[in-house]
Amino acid sequence: MGRTVIHNATLFTATGKDAFRGDLVVEGDRIASISPTSAQLREGDIVIDATGLFCMPGMTEGHAHLSFENVTATEDLITPCPETQVFTAARGAKALIEAGFTSAYGASEAKLKLAVAVRDEVNAGRLPGPRIRAGGLEITVTGAMGDESKAHNPRQGPSTIVDGVDEMRRAVRLHCREGIDNIKLDVSGDPFYPATPAHTTPMTFEEILVAAETAHAYGRKINAHTRSIEGSKRCVRAGVDGLFHTEYADEELLDMMEEARDRIFVVPTVGLFAQIMAGEASAHGLTPEVGGYMNIPDLLENSVKTHSELRRRGIRHLIGGDYGFGWSKQGTQGRDLKFFVDHYGYSPAEALLCATRNGGLAMGYGGDLGTLEAGSLADLILVAGDPLADISVLSGPEKVVFVMRAGDVQKSTLPAASLAVAPALQAAE
């Protein structure tokens, strides 16, 4: 397989260095070189004239729900058959890769093995999509978020319900047996579940601890939906890898997270509530007024306080999360970059690090993913615009004109005139 030379791009390496103009060479599934000088061409090289384009690592969706598509109620998740929903999840994967997300760090899905099936097809080259750490069902406890049963109506939501350490251990083992990469626990409450609001913590420390120990014993990662202060403390103490949401905090929790900052990843998932309060969900009945009744303004206020402080303390944030609702389409996860700038005080360059370098580390490739460096995996995108000047150019797929994953082109809307094969271009020079 020949080399691909990206020529004269603005290169954002996600290593902390300033962006610069230069050439990047891909050979096989790796970046062979990156330099501010023109690459020495070889016969047969595919050369992309990237003048005026911004080259950066592919992004990671940090809280992926591949099977969520225009969801407005739980029925949208639990009533379709798995045969139908596997196509939904495949469309979710396609939307992500076309928007420049070359990795998806799974949260949970509508049914246990949806992301597993799509992951395996993507890995086999039969479906377009990002690298996928597959999420399964949410694991919750009786009466908590995810338990939608009543004594008179034993309704099964998109979750596995357990009580006690033995049932938790078995549930995690079952998820691991079925090929799940990322186990997710519903530790705290949520504003969509009035009986257990966000500040409550139904899951015990012992249940969280045995889940983390079991997942790690299988070499898997453990993540948690946690909004409450006590829930987040239990997660950090138990060894949970990824904390989703985490709006409420006190000084003790902030200190705990700072101490664990080289181990944990935190995903604020700010988009869902920011969009509701901006009126973007009003057509679906979730007006800002309804959001007020749900206490969402308080959640947003505390999210700003907590995650601005976590940014100052060097905690590794990921972008994305809870996209796939009727008002937050798959493929628009890049909107979180602007939310990070507007709400948490990140600069555009720092927000890009959350989407690229931090995401690559969370995916678990030993530092080989999420940066543009010689030897790194060749997951990269070209953007028709400058995200450092206008971060909103990554809010959807429109400005993402080229996507490469592991050296393979996943998307290209580049004009034919920008492509050439050496030595013809070399001779012309």
What pTM value is reported for the model? 0.96
What pLDDT, in 10s, does the model give residues 134-191? 999 999 999 999 999 999 998 888 999 999 999 999 999 999 999 999 999 999 999 9
DSSP sequence for 63-119: EE-TT-SSB-STHHHHSS-HHHHHHHHHHHHHHHHHTTEEEEEE-B-SSTTHHHHHH
- Tell me the fold of 4-58+369-428: Urease, subunit C; domain 1 (2.30.40)
Q: How confident is the model at residue 321 (pLDDT cuts 50, 70, 90)?
A: confident
Cα end-to-end distance, the chain, whole Å: 24
Shortest CA distance to 339 belongs to which of 391, 264, 295? 391
Helical packing angle, 205-217 and 165-177, nearest 10° = 30
In this predicted model, which residue has the larger pLDDT, 424 or 57? 57
Cα–Cα distance for residue pair 347/351, rounded to 1 Å = 6
Find tokens 């790690």 and name the residue.
216
- Strands 182-186, 135-141: pairing is parallel
Shortest CA distance to 241 belongs to which of 259, 221, 260, 257? 221
Written as one letter, the residue type at 108 is S
Give the SS3 label for residue 358.
helix
Q: How confident is the model at residue 1 (pLDDT cuts 50, 70, 90)?
A: low
- Strands 400-405, 20-27: pairing is unpaired
Answer for the pair 318, 362: CB distance below 8 angstroms, yes or no: yes
Q: How far is CA 62 from CA 128, 196, 361, 419, in A?
A: 19, 25, 11, 33
Helical packing angle, 251-259 and 229-238, nearest 10° = 20
Shortest CA distance to 13 belongs to which of 399, 270, 371, 386? 371
- Cβ-based neighbours of 342, under 8 Å, separated by 6 or more: none
Residue 420 has a CB neighbour count (10 Å cut-off) of 19
Q: How confident is the model at residue 422 (pLDDT cuts 50, 70, 90)?
A: confident
pLDDT over 70 percentage in the chain: 98
- pLDDT value of position 429: 42
- Cβ-based neighbours of 125, under 8 Å, separated by 6 or more: none
Q: What is the mean pLDDT of residues 207-227?
A: 98
Q: What is the mean pLDDT of residues 266-278?
A: 94
Q: Is the pLDDT of residue 199 over 80?
A: yes
Q: What is the mean pLDDT of residues 300-312?
A: 97
Q: Where are the alpha helices (DSSP H) in 294-334?
A: 296-312
The rounded mean pLDDT for the chain is 96
Residue 166 has a CB neighbour count (10 Å cut-off) of 11
Shortest CA distance to 360 belongs to which of 101, 177, 113, 160? 101
Residues of the chain with CATH 2.30.40.10: 4-58+369-428
- pLDDT value of position 424: 52
Answer for the pair 270, 339: CB distance below 8 angstroms, yes or no: yes
- Cβ-based neighbours of 375, under 8 Å, separated by 6 or more: 30, 31, 368
Cα–Cα distance for residue pair 334/100, rounded to 1 Å = 9
Residues of the chain with CATH 3.20.20.140: 59-333
Cα–Cα distance for residue pair 37/19, rounded to 1 Å = 14
**Which helix (H) or strand (E) segment is 342 a member of?**
helix 335-344
Answer for the pair 178, 116: CB distance below 8 angstroms, yes or no: yes
Structure tokens at 39: 């690459």
- Tell me the fold of 59-333: TIM Barrel (3.20.20)
- pLDDT value of position 154: 87
Helical packing angle, 296-312 and 335-344, nearest 10° = 80
Q: Is the peptide bond before 423 cis (omega within 30 degrees of 0)?
A: yes
Answer for the pair 382, 13: CB distance below 8 angstroms, yes or no: no
Cα–Cα distance for residue pair 18/28, rounded to 1 Å = 27
Q: Is the pLDDT of residue 10 over 70?
A: yes
- pLDDT value of position 62: 98
Cα–Cα distance for residue pair 287/90, rounded to 1 Å = 30
Q: What is the mean pLDDT of residues 197-202?
A: 96
What pLDDT, in 10s, does the model give residues 360-382? 999 999 999 999 999 999 999 99
What pLDDT, in 10s, does the model give residues 68-126? 999 998 899 999 999 999 999 999 999 999 999 999 999 999 999 999 999 999 999 99
Answer for the pair 382, 50: CB distance below 8 angstroms, yes or no: yes
Q: How far is CA 146 from CA 51, 118, 223, 267, 334, in A?
A: 49, 24, 15, 20, 27
Q: Is the pLDDT of residue 425 over 70?
A: no
